[in-house]
């Protein structure tokens, strides 16, 4: 299987979100604009399964690096979401 790059070649920014937008479960969950508890639980179960599949194949060094990657990615996603929400809130306030 060919590797999918994690970065945009020109900007060197992460492009994992582009792959997320191709994920069937994500597209179905986002279709109505609301993420309900069942959809979140299904995504959690999918995540857990993939994590178990990957974790068992990793050496200790790879596991440490992958753990760091997951933590950094989670922090980035939370920070980006909060930034976008704050920016949207500010734009709404300025529009009024």
Task: Report the distance separating Cα 42 and Cα 86, nearest Å.
Answer: 28
Claim to verify: residue 33 and residue 46 sit in the same structural domain: yes
Residue-wise pLDDT tens digits, 2-16: 888 888 889 988 888
Within-domain flag for 70: yes
Claim to verify: residue 88 and residue 64 sit in the same structural domain: yes
Claim to verify: residue 49 and residue 20 sit in the same structural domain: yes
CA dist list (Å): 65 to 19, 60, 86, 91: 21, 9, 31, 38
Return the top range by mean pLDDT from 11-15, 67-71, 76-80: 67-71
End-to-end Cα, the chain, rounded Å: 51
Give the per-residue pLDDT at 3.
86
Give the range of the structural domain holding residue 46, as residue numbers without chain letter. 16-57
Claim to verify: residue 39 and residue 67 sit in the same structural domain: no
Residue-wise pLDDT tens digits, 17-53: 888 988 999 999 999 989 999 999 999 999 999 999 9
């Amino acid at each position: 299987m060919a590797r999918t790059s994690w970065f945009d070649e020109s900007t060197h920014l992460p492009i994992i979100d582009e792959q997320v937008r191709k994920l069937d479960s994500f597209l179905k969950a986002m279709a109505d604009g609301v993420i309900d508890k069942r959809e979140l639980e299904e995504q959690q179960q999918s995540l857990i399964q993939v994590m178990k599949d990957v974790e068992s194949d990793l050496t200790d060094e790879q596991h440490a690096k992958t753990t760091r990657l997951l933590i950094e990615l989670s922090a980035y996603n939370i920070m980006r979401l909060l930034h976008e929400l704050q920016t949207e809130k500010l734009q709404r306030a300025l529009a009024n």
